[in-house]
Chain A
């Protein structure tokens, strides 16, 4: 069965622009979580969506937002980009959410902000 897919794989933007990243979960999975990975901060949790509802949110500013569609696909949006937003953005899907389910990760989207 197909794994988690993320598009695009690479993205270059300039400061002040906005960006939308997409994540398609494994078929049948209803939970999608998003993470930011940087050399300095490591992996940090952004938010989790389950059945189109945001269930949990990490400690990121309001410029970071997301949504989930009825087919469980999820998008993450970052507005007013800053240099510090350059990172690898990973999404993970699971069957029922973070409580007791294994997380399966996509290959990530590498965002570079110039």
Chain B
């Protein structure tokens, strides 16, 4: 059974720092992995989608990597800003075509 873990559960850093969020999954048989952000009381915003054949994707200050063999993905945020404060979730599409979610990392960027 696929399980997705995100560490740390919460992170607080000063504005301007570069940071890395981690996501691990137990079964490497995935179709893709997607990173989302969720603002309090809101829905989810898609950040990056990495197909299983890809190693990384970039969008602006965000870069996500995928290492299927080790069951890990990282989301790198460069030059963090207070507007980046949110909960970041990763999710994988498993072999049963279901979206399996991590519990999220709550990120606070201090001005």
Interface, chain A (partner B; CB < 8 A): 4, 33, 35, 42-45, 48, 55-56, 58, 90, 92, 97-100, 102-108
Would A56 and B96 count as touching, CB distance under 8 A? yes
Would A98 and B101 count as touching, CB distance under 8 A? no
A/B pair count, beta carbons within 8 Å: 54
Would A97 and B101 count as touching, CB distance under 8 A? no
- Give A88 Cβ to nearest chain B Cβ, in Å: 8
Would A42 and B101 count as touching, CB distance under 8 A? yes
- Chain A residues with CB below 8 A from B76, complex form: none
Interface, chain B (partner A; CB < 8 A): 31-32, 34, 36, 42-46, 49, 51, 89, 91, 93, 96-104
CA distance A92 to B45 in the complex (A): 10
Q: Pick the contact of A48: B32, B42, B97 (CB < 8 A).
A: B97
Q: Given A99-B31, A102-B46, A105-B44, check contact A45 B98 (CB 8 Å).
A: yes
- Chain B residues with CB below 8 A from A97, complex form: 97
Please name the residue on chain A nearest to B31 by beta carbon.
A99
Would B31 and A98 count as touching, CB distance under 8 A? yes
- Chain B residues with CB below 8 A from A99, complex form: 31, 93, 97
Q: Given A100-B31, A107-B43, check contact A42 B49 (CB 8 Å).
A: no
CA distance A103 to B104 in the complex (A): 17
- Chain B residues with CB below 8 A from A43, complex form: 89, 91, 101
Would B45 and A103 count as touching, CB distance under 8 A? no
